[in-house]
Amino acid sequence: MKTSAKARDSFKSNLGVILALIGSAIGLGNLWRFPYLVGTNGGAAFIVIYLLCIVFLCMPIMVCEFVIGRRSQANAFRAFEKLRPNSAWKHTGLLAVITCVILLSFYVVVGGWTIDYFVKSLRMVFTPQTDYEGVFNSMVSSSAENIFYTVLFLAVSAAVILGGVRKGIERTNKYLMSALAILIVFIVVYSMTLPGAKAGLNFLFKPDFSKVTFRVALNALGQGFLSLSIGCGAIMTYASYASKKDNLLKTTTVTTISDTLFALLAGMAILPAVFSAGMNPGEGAGLAFISLPYVFAGMPFGKLLSILFYFILFAAALSSAISLLETIVAFLKEESNTERHRAVLLSFAVIVVFAVLCALSFGVLSGFKIFGLTFFDFFDYISSNICLAIGALLISVFAGWKISKEDFYDEITSGGKYKIPKWLLGTLRVFVRYIAPLVVAIIIINSLIGV
């Protein structure tokens, strides 16, 4: 087929779409947030609740994002305008793009740390005697170092996006995801053989139902949104490049299963190693950048492992960052009718400003607070805890109430191409219309009143 210069970008294959979605989903959220949350929220009990949230709430909303994106074949802003012309719904699209800007601004700072630590591992600066807290603190508080790696990470993301959907996003994700799959299995196998590994597995998989509270359920759902990249138009944007022939339910299911599996593998790679070194896993952000380098330094082949681990962290962060950047670029490109490279340049310029503010919030701007939080923490808090949930709520309401039942089913079945049982479609619709909005609204109210 001959394509005109104006033809919209698209993925080459269904596998390309799936890998790009998995790339977006697997990120820093899986590698350090998930293992830590599991450990502190009741182990296997948390995993059970997390899985329930994923299946009954996150997946239906992911399907909605996919339906809206693929049906409209437009960027996150235009998608709502196309499906519901001249309505206030376009503001939902705008909110999604703004959420991406906020999320990406602090995400690239952590992305920068992954390059910094990768380079440090290559230079073999880590020894059992190193003061790891000191290394971390001096990295984040050094304006020059922090800004350099933040901008470098953003520049790499922009370079991928510059290559377009097929040559940039699709190809990069193919390489990165293959590398991730191989390396994580390698590290898990290694981790399992360490003395004391069992304590780590117990921490991860032993259910402690006494820890399960309403708060734990909220954490599980929030983690589900963050991990599956739901709520800010990233899935919508990738879906808009997907073929109408692709099986929507298969694509979203494979993405969800891969992301969840990877989160569990990350836990199985990290926690046994942390326990084996006799350290406390409840460190949050410090786990990846303070405890782990120490753990690696004391292990046989530790230098190699540390290089591999920071490469994994970098690859996961990069493939997630590009999905956020593409959502912004697609919006700018199509709404101002400009070339891709101009849209990339403009996005880069905007994000750099916010990202530098986030990077500096550990150093010279550490005293500058918004609602008592530094730029970095504030951006993290409003995007992960509030904007994503509001986005997810609006997306499910839109798909459930503003897209007709016929259109919704038509999109999911690719115009009847895929035979999906009536009961499944009906159940999905009930979740999208009633259950998901209700539960997500409860979560938003809870996080706003700070329970």
Residues in touch with ligand TRP (CB under 6 A): 24-25, 27-30, 226-227, 229, 231-232, 234, 320, 323-324, 388
Return d(Cα 219, Cα 193) in angstroms, integer: 31
Reference 32, options 271, 296, 192, 219; nearest CA is 271
Q: Which residues contact 167 (CB under 8 A, 6 or more apart)?
A: none
SS3 96: helix
Burial class (CB in 10 A: 0-12, 13-18, 19+), 119: middle
**Residue placing its CB nearer to ligand TRP in the complex, 292 or 297:** 292
**Residue placing its CB nearer to ligand TRP in the complex, 313 or 332:** 313
**Residue 240 vs residues 24, 204, 236, 237: alpha-carbon distances, Å:** 15, 37, 6, 5
For residue 8, what is the DSSP state?
A: P
Q: What angle do CA 372, 33, 196 make, to 5 degrees?
A: 130
Which residue number is nearest to ligand TRP in terms of Cβ?
27
Reference 225, options 446, 449, 444; nearest CA is 444
Residue 410 Cβ vs ligand TRP, minimum distance, rounded to whole Å: 26
Residue 128 Cβ vs ligand TRP, minimum distance, rounded to whole Å: 30
SS3 73: coil
| Residue appearing with tokens 């191409």 | 417
Q: Is the distance from CB of 297 to CB of 128 less than 8 angstroms?
A: yes
Helix, strand counts (H, E) of the chain: 24, 0
Q: Is the distance from CB of 268 to CB of 98 less than 8 angstroms?
A: no
**Residue placing its CB nearer to ligand TRP in the complex, 97 or 308:** 97
Residue 156 Cβ vs ligand TRP, minimum distance, rounded to whole Å: 15
Residue 428 Cβ vs ligand TRP, minimum distance, rounded to whole Å: 21
Q: Kindly write down the DSSP assignment for every residue of 34-72, as one continuous string.
A: HHHHHHHTTTHHHHHHHHHHIIIIIHHHHHHHHHHHHHH
**Residue placing its CB nearer to ligand TRP in the complex, 24 or 105:** 24
Residue 43 Cβ vs ligand TRP, minimum distance, rounded to whole Å: 21
**Residue placing its CB nearer to ligand TRP in the complex, 249 or 324:** 324
Residue 390 Cβ vs ligand TRP, minimum distance, rounded to whole Å: 13
Residue 268 Cβ vs ligand TRP, minimum distance, rounded to whole Å: 17
Residue 229 Cβ vs ligand TRP, minimum distance, rounded to whole Å: 4
SS3 123: coil
**Residue ranges in 44-196 assigned as alpha helix (H):** 44-53, 59-72, 76-83, 90-122, 132-141, 143-162, 164, 171-192
**Residue placing its CB nearer to ligand TRP in the complex, 203 or 225:** 225
Residue 202 Cβ vs ligand TRP, minimum distance, rounded to whole Å: 25
Q: List beta partners, residue 370.
A: 373
Residue 194 Cβ vs ligand TRP, minimum distance, rounded to whole Å: 26
**Residue placing its CB nearer to ligand TRP in the complex, 75 or 323:** 323
Positive or negative, the Cα torsion across 249, 251, 252, 253? positive
Residue 401 Cβ vs ligand TRP, minimum distance, rounded to whole Å: 23
**Residue placing its CB nearer to ligand TRP in the complex, 25 or 147:** 25
- Return the HEC string of 267-326: HHHHHHHHHHCCCCCCCCHHHHHHHHHHHHHCCCCHHHHHHHHHHHHHHHHHHHHHHHHH
**Residue placing its CB nearer to ligand TRP in the complex, 25 or 399:** 25
Length of the chain: 451
**Residue placing its CB nearer to ligand TRP in the complex, 200 or 231:** 231
**Residue placing its CB nearer to ligand TRP in the complex, 229 or 240:** 229
